[in-house]
A and B are shown apart, each in its own frame.
Chain A
């Protein structure tokens, strides 16, 4: 079956702009979580959605937001981009939540200039 699909794979944005990243989970998976990966901070949890509800949120400013649609597809939005937002953004889907295997997409590489 198809894996987790993230689009786009690469993005270049200018400081102050906003960006929307998309994640299509594996069919049947209802949980989608997002992570930011940077060389300095490593992998950090952004938020998790289950059945269109945010169940948990990491320690990121309010500029980072997300949503999940009824088909479980998820988007994350970053407003007023800063240089420090340059990172690999990874999405993971799982059947339900903790304890079920998280399958990761290939990520979206965001560069802010």
Chain B
């Protein structure tokens, strides 16, 4: 079984400040890793994904994440946030083959203050 822990339920930051949203996972097999963003009353949008290769992954809207296999982490970072980044962020894992099944963390609510 797989599980995902997002270490912060809420993260308030000031506009133009850097931010890191933390994610740790547990799995007995190799996994793919994802970060999704959810804006109010919307579905989920993929920010970035790690399938293989370089452990530093760049995504949309200036976000990036680093896969650390030894620490089983996949933290999301952005060097300078904007008001429009206010949303809920979800880390997720999936098996590397078979059905499309994502296991999500509980989410981190990112609030950007002016």
Residues on A close to B: CB < 8 A?
4, 31, 33, 35, 42-45, 48, 50, 55-56, 58, 90, 92, 94, 96-107
Contact = CB atoms under 8 A, between A and B. Distances in A.
B100 to A, nearest CB: 5
Contact of B44 (A58, A94, A104): A104
Contact of A50 (B49, B96, B99): B99
A98 B30 CA distance: 12
A28 B43 CA distance: 20
A101 B44 CA distance: 12
A97 B43 contact: no
A56 B101 contact: yes
Nearest to A30: B100
A99 B51 contact: yes
Nearest to A96: B100
B46 interface: yes
A97 B102 contact: no
Interface of B: 32, 36, 41-46, 49, 51, 90, 94-107
Contacts of B106: 42
A57 to B, nearest CB: 9
Dominant secondary structure of chain B at its interface with chain A: loop
B98 A56 contact: yes
Most chain B CB inside 10 Å of its own CB: which residue of A55, A98, A106: A98
Nearest to A93: B100
Nearest to A31: B100
Nearest to B44: A104
B98 A98 contact: yes
Contacts of B101: 33, 45, 48, 56, 58, 98
A92 B100 contact: yes
Contacts of A33: 99-102
Nearest to B49: A101
A43 B96 CA distance: 20
Given A42-B105, A106-B41, 9 more contacts: A42-B107, A56-B98, A92-B100, A92-B102, A94-B100, A98-B98, A98-B99, A99-B32, A101-B49
